[in-house]
Amino acid sequence: MNLLTIIGESLRALRTNRLRTGLTMLGMIIGVAAVVLLISIGQGAQSKINQSIATMGSNLFIVLPGATSSGGLSFGSGSVKTLTVGDSEAIAELSLVEATAPVISGTAQLNYGANNWSTTITGTTPDYFNVGNWNIESGTFFSESEMRSAVRVAVLGKETARNLFGQEGATGKIIRVTNRPFLVIGVLEAKGQSLSGRDQDDNVFIPLTTSERQITGNQFPGSIRYMMVQAKSAKTMDEAEAEIVDLLRQRHRITGDMENDFTVRNLAAIADVATGTAKLMSLMLGAIASISLLVGGIGIMNIMLVSVTERTREIGIRMAIGANRRAILTQFLAEAVMICILGGVAGIILGISGAWIVSQLADMLIVITLGMVVLAFAFASAIGIFFGFYPARKAALLKPVEALRYE
C-alpha cells in the first residue's frame, strides 16, 4: 500500500469513532498548545531581558552608599550619605576605570502649560549619558560648562516628553521644574524597561550642580545618591572592582575588619543572573508543558491498545486477504501519528492564539518563532510514533488464525 492510501485508510478508521478520536486528540491539542504557549511566554521574558541588557551600557558598576547588608538592593534608603562627588572624581582617575557619573535623584513636579507630570529627577554629570548608553533623539546632552555653571537646562526622557508635550517638539521650550523655569535642550531615545522593571524613559536629567543647589537641596554638601562606574574592559571587571573598593576604603578611612560603608555592584553579573534565570524559566516552562504532551501520548497509546483489541477480527480478515505484518503495523502506526499530527496542528493554532490573547490581556511580550512551531510539530509526531509503535506492533504480531477466530 502506498503512503497516500495508508493515510486515507487511517483517516477513515479515525472517522468511524469520532468521539474517541476527538477526545484522544484533545490530549494532544492541549499538550502542544501548552508547549507553544509556555515556550512563547518564556522566550518573550527572555528577549525582554535581553533588550534591557542591550540598552544598559557595558562594563558597569553601580556604587551605593551604605554596607551591603544594610543597604540591600534598594536605591531609596537615602539615609546614608557616605558617597561624595569627590569619591566619584577619584574613582574616575583609577587605571582600570573609564568614566564615572555621580547621581543625585529625587522626584519633581514638571509643568508645561496646563500639563504637569511628576517624575524622577536625576542630577548628574555629562558622562552619565555615555556611561549609561543613552542616545539623544533631538537636541543635545548638557555640557561640562553648563554643568560647572549650574544653568537650568533639562534633558527629558521619552516618556516624560510625551506626557508634557504630546506630539509637540520639546527642545527649546521652557518647562517648570518644581516651579523654576528650565530650558529643555534635548530629548532622549526610548530605552524601555530596566532589568528591575522600571520605566527608564520616565525621567528628567539636569546638571548635578543645578540639582544640588536649586532642586533637591542638600544637607550634606557634595554627597550623592549613587554613582555609575564604567570599567575599561569586560575582562578586568574584577580587578576594577578591587581597585574601587581599595580606593573607597582608603578615602573613607576604613581599615582592617571594619565593614565597608558603601556597596559595589557589578551590573554585568546581575545581568548574567537575570539572563540565566530567564533561560531556566523558559526551560522549566517547556518541561512542564512537555509533561502534558507526554500524558497525551500515553492517552494515545491507551486508546490504540483498546482499538487493536477491538479490531482483532478486522486484523485477522486483513491478514487473510493478504496484508503482511508491515501493512498492519503501518496502518495502526498511521492512525496514532494522524491523531498526533492533526492534534499537533490544532494545538499549534490554539497555542499561538492563546499566546496572542495573553500578550493582549497581560501586556506581556510573547515571542513565537518558526523553529519553535516546527519543534512542537516534530515533537508531536515523534510522540505519535513512539506511543503508537507498541500497539501497532502488537497488532502486526497477531497470528492470522487467532485473530480471525477472536470474538
Partner 1 sequence: MLPVRPSTSSQPLIKIEHLCKSYALDNQANGSLNSQVLFDINIEIGQGEFVAIMGHSGSGKSTLMNILGCLDTPSSGRYWFSGQDVAALSGDALAQIRNRNIGFVFQGFNLLKRMTALDNVATPLLYAGMSRASSRKRALEQLRLTGLTDFSLYQPNQLSGGQQQRVAISRALINQPQLILADEPTGNLDSQTSCEIMALFQQLNREQNITIVLVTHEDDIAAYANRLIRFKDGRVIHDESVT
Tell me which residues touch partner 1 (CB under 8 A): 1-2, 4-5, 8, 12, 16, 313-314, 316-327, 399-401, 404
Q: Do 186 and 203 form a contact (C-beta atoms < 8 A)? A: no
CB nearer partner 1, residue 29 or residue 315: 315
- CB-CB contact of 176 with 162 (8 Å): no
Q: Measured between alpha carbons, how far is 124 from 109 in angstroms, rounded to an integer?
A: 18
What is the smallest separation between the CB atom of 28 and partner 1, expressed in angstroms?
24
Closest approach, Cβ 20 to partner 1, in A, equals 14
First to last CA, the chain: 27
Residues 6+ away with beta carbon under 8 Å from 383 = 28, 293, 294, 296, 297, 300, 340
Q: Give dist(CA 340, CA 385) in Å, integer.
A: 9
Minimum CB–partner distance for residue 336 and partner 1 (Å): 19
- Closest distance of CB 334 from partner 1, Å: 13
In the complex with partner 1, the residue whose CB is nearer, 180 or 313, is 313
User: Least separation, in Å, of the C-beta of 279 and partner 1?
Assistant: 50
Nearer to partner 1, 198 or 326 (CB): 326
User: Residue 209: which region, alpha, beta or left (left: phi > 0; alpha: psi -120 to 50)?
Assistant: alpha
Smallest separation (angstroms) from partner 1 to the CB of 349: 30
CB 274, CB 48: distance < 8 Å: no
Residue 5 Cβ, how far from partner 1 at the closest point, in Å?
5
**For partner 1, the closer CB: 198 or 405:** 405
Between 389 and 406, name the residue whose CB sits nearer to partner 1.
406
d(CA 328, CA 334): 10
Look at the block and give the residue holding cell 494515545. Answer: 300
With cell 521650550, the residue in question is 173
Q: How far is the CB of 308 from partner 1 (least distance, A)?
A: 15
Residue 148 or 405: the one with the smaller Cβ distance to partner 1 is 405
CB nearer to partner 1: give 20 or 180. Answer: 20
Of 234 and 321, nearer to partner 1 (C-beta) is 321
| Greatest Cα-to-Cα distance within the chain, rounded to the nearest angstrom | 103
Cα distances (Å, whole numbers) of residue 54 to 51, 217, 241, 268: 5, 34, 22, 11
Listed residue (155, 148, 146) closest to 175, CA to CA: 155
Query: Under a CB-based contact definition with an 8 Å cutoff, are residues 156 and 164 in contact?
Result: yes
- Residue 386 CA to residue 297 CA, distance in Å, equals 8
CB 333 within 8 Å of CB 389 = yes
Length of the chain: 407
Q: What are the DSSP calls for 30-82, one per residue?
A: HHHHHHHHHHHHHHHHHHHHHHHHHTS-SSEEEEEES-HHHH-S-S-------
Which is nearer to partner 1, 12 or 180 (by Cβ)? 12
- Output 49 or 398, the one with its CB closest to partner 1: 398
Among candidate residues 255, 394, 397, the one with its CA nearest the CA of residue 324: 397
